[in-house]
Structure 1
Amino acid sequence: MTVAKLLAVFPVELALHALVLAIHPPYVVAVAVLVVTTTVLVIWVVEPSAMRWLRTWLHAPHSPPATGVDALWRIRVTLPDSVGSLERLAHGLTAVDANILGLHVHTVEDGVRDELVVSAPDSIRSGALSAVVESAGGGDVQVWPTTALALIDGQTKALSLAARVVADPTELPHAVAELLGAELVTDRALLSGPLPADRTILKIPSPWTGFFAFTRPAEPFTPAESARAHRLAQLAELSLLPL
């Protein structure tokens, strides 16, 4: 691309300088003409035209999407706390060739909130997965594309973050944000009123003063996640106590 731009600009620069030298205007006029004309021609005329003309040479042809490669999806769904509810969900996912790779269960007021990582053929879209989960009796379904990082063992991750907080208690807000996949709220104006009823904002006490707040608009925080965040806060506070 650099060579193409140089080859496009060089003839313009050469022609302009040759023209100015042939006319031989006053020095100030010559400089002004070269600067203005070169800038306008190069930026708005020559370079865009060259990029359009050389598009097929500069860029590889558009390749069709890969097929036969499974995509990873993260699913959150509320299921009845009854025998067979998870089995029905598993059968529904099997019908679309989706395989459950990871599962975390959070107890909530109206049942259980299951968090799954599934692999599915790349032809399956989020809407199809949502429909399957809902037909299996799931409620409040949320589906996002994810990566293999979602398969990291949750307990191992929590212990690693706890060790990080013990070593440096100031890491608490960053550790909680990483643990919950949330964002630290830095604008206190957002917290001036009552917290939203959809549980998309979580507050934990700060070991120093006040509190930390986290937001995750797409996913309400579960009671289990709230408990984990508060335990990390307690750990940070204990780490500050003199031995």
Structure 2
Amino acid sequence: MALWRVRATVDDRPGYLAVLAASLALKSVNIVAVQVHSTEAGAVDDFLVEAPESLTAEALVEAIRRGRGRDPWVCRANARVLVDEPTRVLGLAATVAIDPAGLESALSALLGGCEVTRGGADDRPGLTPGVLVVADPDGGLLVARRDEPAFTPAEYARAQALVQVAVAATAYA
């Protein structure tokens, strides 16, 4: 069996997530974990799934679309992603609490390994599909960039919370 990270937008209506799950089940895909990010476009569902080795990325995308999933994104994963999300995030928060200077690295890990750099004069705090900008506790801005999947408001809120941990750690140091 192979592990995949899957993200798709689904209408936030009764039964729509079940339709997507049933479509995946028809391809012998087992949902191991799911997170739901509420957005204006619908519920962005982030899955960790286990699928037969023979299932291709294209076949997985097709199953998502047949299950009424929009804007599908799939990526092979490894066993490290089996740590549940709250545990992983608490570990990152503890790391930042001990060493606030590690905030950039922790933000990168929080956001799936994307690039995090210091912002420029044109950057503003906020969120676009491929860019997430938060205030840097040391002054300036931190900018996270990735091509796919698009950032969600929930990811922005998590990044802001991690920045708050760095601010608190610095204040009490």
TM-score normalised by length of structure 1: 0.66
State whether residues 127 and 133 of structure 2, in contact with CA within 8 Å, keep that contact through their aligned partners in structure 1.
no
Q: Does 1:184 align with 2:121?
A: no
Output the CA distance in 2 between the equivalents of 1:195 and 1:225: 14
Name the SS of the counterpart of 1:213 in structure 2. strand
Residues 40-55 of structure 1 aligned to structure 2 (within 5 Å):
none
Return the match for 2:130 from 188, 200, 204.
Answer: 200
Which structure has more strand as a fraction of its residues?
Answer: 2
Residues 139-150 of structure 1 aligned to structure 2 (within 5 Å):
139-150=70-81
Return the match for 1:229 from 151, 159, 168.
Answer: 159
Return the match for 2:97 from 150, 166, 172.
Answer: 166
Q: Deviations over 1:123-172 (max 9, x none)?
A: 11010110111011110101111111122110001111111111111011
Residue type of the partner of 2:135? P
State whether residues 195 and 201 of structure 1, in contact with CA within 8 Å, keep that contact through their aligned partners in structure 2.
no
Output the CA distance in 2 between the equivalents of 1:161 and 1:242: 18
What is the number of residues matched between the two proteins?
Answer: 172
Quickly say closer, same or farther: Cα 1:102–1:225, change in 2 above 3 A: same
Residue type of the partner of 2:89? A
Residue type of the partner of 2:81? A
Q: Does 1:151 align with 2:82?
A: yes
Could you list the runs of 5+ residues in structure 1 that have no partner in the other structure? 1-69
State whether residues 130 and 150 of structure 2, in contact with CA within 8 Å, keep that contact through their aligned partners in structure 1.
yes
Runs of 4+ off more than 2 Å: 191-198
Q: Whose radius of gyration is greater, 1 or 2?
A: 1
**Identical aligned residues as a percent:** 35
Q: Does 1:116 align with 2:47?
A: yes
Residues 127-138 of structure 1 aligned to structure 2 (within 5 Å):
127-138=58-69
Which structure has more helix as a fraction of its residues?
Answer: 1
Output the CA distance in 1 between the equivalents of 2:88 and 2:14: 30
1:90 is matched with 21
Q: Deviations over 1:179-237 (max 9, x none)?
A: 11121135x57x74789985211111111110111111111111011001001111111
Output the CA distance in 2 between the equivalents of 1:102 and 1:193: 34
CA RMSD of aligned residues (A): 2.0
Q: Deviations over 1:87-120 (max 9, x none)?
A: 1111111111111111111111111000111111
State whether residues 124 and 133 of structure 2, in contact with CA within 8 Å, keep that contact through their aligned partners in structure 1.
no
2:57 is matched with 126
Q: Does 1:220 align with 2:131?
A: no
TM-score normalised by length of structure 2: 0.92
Could you list the runs of 5+ residues in structure 2 that have no partner in the other structure? none
